[in-house]
Amino acid sequence: MRPARSAVAGLLLALATAACSGGSSPPDALAGSAAQTTTAGQASAVTSPPEPARIGRTAPGERVRFEPEQVVLPGGETAPVVPARTAGGELVVPDDIRTVGWWDGSAYAGDLFGSTVIAGHVDAPRQGRGYFARLLRITPGETVTVRGDGRRAAYRVVSVEAVRKDALSAASPLFDQRVGHRLVLMTCTGAFDPVTRSYDENLVVTAEPVGPAR
């Protein structure tokens, strides 16, 4: 501890000598300089508070996905879309022929992968022609739009084909969720069997996305 006391004594002696020497710095100026040095040292020891984190915002390139709520066929005709489930391995289509069903086990509109599957009746007893009877006239190259949650996704038709009635089986490749994203629209077609009161084929319209959903 003695070296410390000697250093302090030497410092006090130096300050006293400067005060009595008649030099250019008066005692008050020296005191002020020492005070400023101490204040600056204390300020540097205080850690500045961190800046608040920025609020995250959706990047312009982020992919948009949504549950289908409305479908628009070529010509502008629209229909509401409601969730539909499978029962006994088949998709249960809404009874109301003015409404179509989105298989809730399929992809959302705008997804990167998977089939967005929407099915509806071509007609029904006491209801007449259904909304999806319009699929009988659709051709490749035309555009189908799906809307929901204030968003929209456009798809260009690439194929229209009739397949066996078991196309609505949950095991069908048409329901594959491992493929690149696409829209699959389904309804009945072919010959009508008055005994089973059903058609023997399904019409399948496949469409690919026209750019990302927005």
Structural domains for the chain: 2-40 (no CATH), 70-209 (2.40.260.10)
| Bridge pairing between strands 198-209 and 151-164 | antiparallel
Top-confidence residue, 181 or 25: 181
Q: What is the pLDDT of residues 177-214, one digit of tens each?
A: 999 999 999 999 999 998 888 899 999 999 999 999 99
Confidence of residue 19 (pLDDT cuts 50, 70, 90): very low
Average pLDDT, the chain: 80
Q: Is the pLDDT of residue 69 over 50?
A: yes
d(CA 167, CA 169): 5
Q: Which residue has the tokens 């289509």?
A: 93
Beta bridge partners of 91: 86
Percent pLDDT > 90 in the chain is 57
Please provide the DSSP assignment of 130-195 as one string: -GGGGGGG--TT-EEEEEETTEEEEEEEEEEEEEEGGGGBTTSGGG-SSSBPEEEEEEEEEEEETT
The per-residue pLDDT for 176 is 86
Q: Residue 88 half-sphere exposure, CB side, CA atoms within 13 Å? A: 3
Cβ of 159: how many Cβ atoms within 10 Å? 11
Task: Band the pLDDT of 153: cuts 50, 70, 90.
Answer: very high
pLDDT at 169 over 70: no
Tell me how crowded residue 74 is: count the other CB atoms within 10 A of its CB: 15
What average pLDDT score do residues 158-166 get?
90
pTM of the shown model: 0.70
Spatial contact of 179 and 111, defined as CB atoms under 8 Å apart: no
With cut-offs at 50, 70 and 90, classify the pLDDT of residue 124: very high
The DSSP output letter for 47 is: P
Q: Are 18 and 10 contacting, i.e. CB atoms less than 8 angstroms apart?
A: no
